[in-house]
Amino acid sequence: MSQQANEPVVDRPPVNADVTPATAAGAELTRQTRIGGFKIPTDALRAYTMLFALVAIWIYFNYATDGIFLDPRNFSNLMRQTAVTGVLAVGMLMVIVTGNIDLSVGSLVGFIGGVAAIAQGQNGWGLVPTLAAALIVGFAVSQAQGALVAYANIPAFIVTLGGLLAWRGVVLGMTRGETIPITLPGFKAIGQQFVTRPVGLAFALLAVAGIVWMNIRRHRARARYGLGETSTLNLVLRIALPALVVVLFILRMNAYEGMPIPVVILIIVALFGAFLTQNTTFGRYLYAIGGNPDAARLSGINVRNHIWAVFCIMGLLAGVASLIYTARVGSASPDAGNLLELDAIAACVIGGTSLMGGRGTVFGACLGALFMASLDNGMSLLNVQPYSQYIIKGAILVTAVGLDMLGRKQG
């Protein structure tokens, strides 16, 4: 270990992060499960299992609601419901992968929404200054919380729990307990408008091209550095399944009024998050830190800077989610964003992210967000009582964590 610690690991090419002691704990990313005569990466298997479970509940809800659930209009509403949680889940994934947690994002969404509403309402700011202010506030708050976690060694649970209470109090005082309407048409469009059908199809082509490029790039990089080539079956599945989902999704969106702008934003954020976590040195180091922070530090990784950075990213994405949320409802209210932090955490965990750190994917987190939104939407259509909805979602979350712990114990 001492010999490895003296090597200039941080100056090596990105994929060399896979062979440092710090990323030994990140072997979870390439651990394989044998099914029949094939070996499938464990993370990919979890994602595919989650996808099949999602399809199953869609079929059930569609049958139970006489086709209303998958009706183009309701499906469009479902995806808009997913957008806010999905954007938060992408940032939360990065935080959890490093072995931390952020409980303040729900209150931060409400606080940022209040700032944006006041800026465009009482202060008369235009669209661009209002949006910029929201993102700056999100970044400023989260970088301060991240600094306390990374450099002051205060547990993230305590820092962000304090943030959950503090920012909820700030938004209550700032709005004086009143709802502030959004008057800028461009602001409202972020949460309520659609892109045209041709633009949606073009976006689908770009998304498919991005999926192909990222997987081929990853395949070649692993072969170049002797990390073992991805099997042809796995490469085809990693490209074909997401691409098929994208195409079918766009066609379904176009069957109504086109793809909602919040969904466009979610897809852009998800692709950015997937590239950052899977195809960059920074992303690989996050998994290394979550898998074994001591080994990561001895390998030359600046653990403190990386933890601070993921909180900064979380703050920016909280700002994006807040803009979508506030624009969608058309106003900022004191209770906006209530419990959104739990939805984001649940989406990550259900999508296969380990609360112990070191494992998880953006694709799984987004699937988890869609799974949670589908449950909410389907149970609402079936007039399930609110208390029953909370019980069901809580049971699913506990089951997901239990399965994760069982898998780690067997490993």
Query: Tell me: the pLDDT tens digits for 287-325?
Result: 999 988 888 888 888 999 999 999 999 999 999 999 999
Mean pLDDT over 73-77 rounds to 91
Pairing state of beta strands 331-332 and 38-41?
Answer: unpaired
């303040």: which residue's tokens? 104
Q: Decide: residue 6, CB within 10 A, 0-12 exposed, 13-18 middle, 19+ buried.
A: exposed
Percent of the chain predicted with pLDDT > 70: 86
Q: What is the pLDDT of residue 2?
A: 40
Alpha-carbon distance 63 to 211, whole Å?
32
Q: What is the pLDDT of residue 227?
A: 67
Query: Do 200 and 254 meet the contact criterion of CB atoms below 8 Å apart?
Result: yes
Mean pLDDT over 103-112 rounds to 93
Task: Tell me the residue type at 197.
Answer: R
Alpha-carbon distance 323 to 261, whole Å?
12
In 123-161, which positions are buried (b, 16+ CB within 10 angstroms) versus exposed (e)? Answer: eebeeeebbebbbebbbebbbebbbbbbeeeeebeebbb
Helices vs. strands in the chain: H and E counts, helices first: 16, 4
Q: What is the pLDDT of residue 47?
A: 64
Average per-residue pLDDT for the chain: 83
Confidence of residue 364 (pLDDT cuts 50, 70, 90): confident
Q: Which long-range contacts (CB under 8 A, 24 or more apart) does 389-398 make?
A: 393/346, 396/346, 396/350, 397/346, 397/349, 397/350
CATH code, residues 24-189+261-410 = 1.10.3470
Percent of the chain predicted with pLDDT > 90: 38
Q: What is the pLDDT of residue 39?
A: 54
- Which range has the top average pLDDT, 5-14, 27-36, 179-188, 393-402? 179-188
Ranges of each domain in the chain: 24-189+261-410, 194-259
Q: What is the pLDDT of residue 140?
A: 94
Asked if residue 273 has pLDDT above 60, the reply is yes
Helices in 17-66 by DSSP H: which ranges?
Answer: 42-64
* pTM of the entire predicted model: 0.83
Asked if residue 9 has pLDDT above 50, the reply is no
Task: Write out the DSSP string of 168-235.
Answer: HHHHHHHHTT--EE---HHHHHHHH-B--HHHHHHHHHHHHHHHHHHHHHHHHHHHHTTS-PPPHHHH
Alpha-carbon distance 358 to 204, whole Å?
31
Q: Both tokens of residue 308?
A: 């601070």
Look at residues 324, 377, 366, 374 and name the one whose alpha carbon lies nearest to residue 344: 366
DSSP 402: H
Asked if residue 8 has pLDDT above 50, the reply is no
Asked if residue 252 has pLDDT above 70, the reply is yes
Mean pLDDT over 321-330 rounds to 93
Mean pLDDT over 120-130 rounds to 87
Q: What is the pLDDT of residue 161?
A: 94
Mean pLDDT over 80-93 rounds to 93
